[in-house]
Amino acid sequence: MSDLPRLSIKLCAPRGFCAGVDRAIQIVELALERFGPPVYVRHEIVHNKFVVDSLRAKGAVFVEELSEIPATDAPVVFSAHGVAKSVPAEASSRNMFYLDATCPLVSKVHKEAQLHFKRGREVVLIGHAGHPEVVGTMGQLPDGAISLVETVDDVAHFTPNDENALAWVSQTTLSVDDTRAIVEALTARFPAIVGPHKDDICYATTNRQEAVKAVAPDVDAMIVVGAPNSSNSQRLREVAERAGCSKAVLLQRAHDIDWSMFSGIERLGITAGASAPESLVEEIIAAFAEHFQVTVETVRTADETIAFNLPRELRSVAAE
């Protein structure tokens, strides 16, 4: 009989990879398979060091700007977060062969912003300054045509050119609750503002946050497997805290666990951000199994069946 303390793990579902992340990683892997290394990738393909390092070991070369890439016939992949219009324009001017791994749900936001602009509306983007997705979305329109708001307070200080010609779009990986509050503030100040036909926050972000809300009130601690620069992972940690779990932590790998933090707990919740592979969740569960008598229960709040098409250039490789 083991003298290890008992630990009940509640595993959130859905968790981990979303369809957009899965597609982006596939694009790099299939490009390596078809064209051989190197395959250049502008920015981290997704925000996860384990994924990036795995692809780098297979021959992917990660850069922040196209200017870092020498004259080459090798493929260049744009990350899942999307890029400003200037990036494919620069790639074309250099005769680069590029593959766009932008998540289709991010591309949807780009198209919405462009459509509002064509219809004469000033666009308000709800998002986090400096995040690659925000940089890419703002880069769809000319300077001054799109304004970023990050908080309800920003809304109070925002002065549009014409409050009757306004529209809003949002980053896809935000907190559902925070975004709702900002939208309510925008609508209260500018009743004529036009929103998306369908919510911009992606299905995966919403589903993962709902699963955390279901588990967090019933556990002593919550682990979100994900990277510090992953917006959706950071939001999951915040959602867990707000849902009643004061001990919520973001971890990249099992070796990051601070065991003193989990001393004396009996119930642990685990989820993973949309760019975190399931192998890292399993690694963390295995680490806890060395310190506790572990039982694992999955708490499922939604089923996900969405898949996105690959670029035409890679479909034949995927079919083989």
| Active site positions, annotated | 133
Contacts of 111 (CB under 8 A, 6+ apart): none
CA atoms within 13 A on the CB side of 116: 29
The answer to whether 208 and 241 have CB atoms below 8 angstroms apart is no
Is 273 in contact with 236 (CB distance < 8 Å)?
yes
Name the nearest CA neighbour of 272 among 221, 219, 236. 236
Q: What is the DSSP letter of 228?
A: T
In the chain, what is the greatest distance between 2 CA atoms, to the nearest angstrom? 72
Q: How far is CA 299 from CA 15, 136, 152, 215, 239, in A?
A: 10, 35, 33, 7, 16
User: Residues 136, 140, 66, 77: is their CA dihedral positive or negative?
Assistant: positive
Cβ(21)–Cβ(101) below 8 Å:
no
Q: Who's near 24: CB < 8 A, 6+ residues apart?
A: 45, 46, 77, 79, 80, 101, 103
- Concatenated DSSP letters for 9-78? EEEEES-S--HHHHHHHHHHHHHHHHH-S-EEEES-SSS-HHHHHHHHHHTEEEESSGGGSPS-SS-EEE
Cis peptide before 14 (omega within 30 of 0): yes
CA–CA separation, 22 and 32 (whole Å): 16
Query: Would you state the structure tokens that stand for residue 71, as one six-digit string?
Result: 């004259």
- The strand order across the sheet containing 76-78 reads 60-63, 39-42, 76-78, 98-100
